[in-house]
Chains A and B, each alone.
Chain A
Amino acid sequence: MWNKQSNLLLIKISTGRITKLVIPFPLIVIDITLDALADLAWVIDKILLLWRRKSNQCYNGYKGHHYQWANLSIMDLVTTLRLSFKELRRRGRWTMVAVETGQFKVFVDFY
């Protein structure tokens, strides 16, 4: 079945008639990296959980920076990043940013 998902992130930079630069970035790379990070995030979360328990014992209810950051779930962070990335891809071909100032042009396209 035809897949509408975008596969490339294209950063196009043009500075006049001669200089044109197109940087293609395969989105599948980010996809795979985020998938791999999800597993790693699960492990980090488990380590953080142990560290949090120890930290709570040591500081006995102290609520400082330690406490705040210890509650951070890496898994949630990675999941949200994956969802955001999926939303970016599912639109197919579209232009996210287009900037033109005189001869200087920059485009961020999903292809």
Chain B
Amino acid sequence: MQNEKEQILQMIEKGTITASEGMELLEALKDNNNAEYPVNTKLTDRCLRVRVDNAKSKVNVNIPLSLLRVTSKLVNMGMKYIPDEARSEMEKKGIDLTSIDLDELVELIDQGLVDGKLVDVDTEDEESGRTRVEVYVE
């Protein structure tokens, strides 16, 4: 953004554009920049979206990230009450549910993805036709 600002200022300096035109460009740049990441700063407005689309059916599930964050506390709470027998059985298979930090996971989803897809699967089957599964944050 700094580079673009400098370019606009240079254009004014060289006389390619007038000062008012430059001002307009700077304003547009500012607006553009605000619009680029409008939801990233507000966790409350963002959703984890799951889309399953094929010839026969469509499924859309929207889960607010803020809800995920709150319910992660509930899941963390529940992890403590897994019976010891079940826990040791899982540990034998190399599964340790308590090591999953859901808060961190939600944080990573929030920070790392502006409009990237977490899951994008596109398959074609003779029976059910083309199926697309997408999981993304929006």
Q: Which residues of A contact B (CB under 8 A)?
A: 63-65, 68-69, 71-72, 76-77, 80-81, 83-84, 87-88, 90-91, 94-102
Contact A98 B60 (CB under 8 A): yes
B88 in the interface, Cβ–Cβ < 8 Å? no
Inter-subunit contact B67/A87 (CB<8 Å): yes
A99-B81 in contact given A83-B70, A84-B67, A87-B67 (Cβ < 8 Å): no
A97→B61 contact, CB < 8 A: yes
Bound Cα distance from A81 to B62, whole angstroms: 19
Interface residues in B, total, Cβ within 8 A: 21
Question: Would you list which residues of chain B between 76 and 91 have a CB under 8 Å from chain A?
Answer: 77, 80-81, 83-84
**Given contacts A87-B70, A94-B62, A96-B62, A80 and B57 within 8 Å (CB-CB):** no
Residue on B nearest A95 in the bound complex, by CB: B62
Which residues of A lie under 8 Å from residue B83 when comparing CB positions?
65, 68
Q: In whole Å, how far is B54's beta carbon from the nearest beta carbon of chain A?
A: 10
**Given A84-B67, A84-B70: A99 and B62 interface contact (C-beta under 8 Å):** no
Check if B66 is an interface residue, CB within 8 A of chain A. yes
Contact: B66 with A80, CB < 8 Å?
no
Also in contact, A77 and B81, with CB within 8 A (given A98-B58, A100-B58, A101-B56): no
Let me know if A95 and B81 touch, CB within 8 A.
no
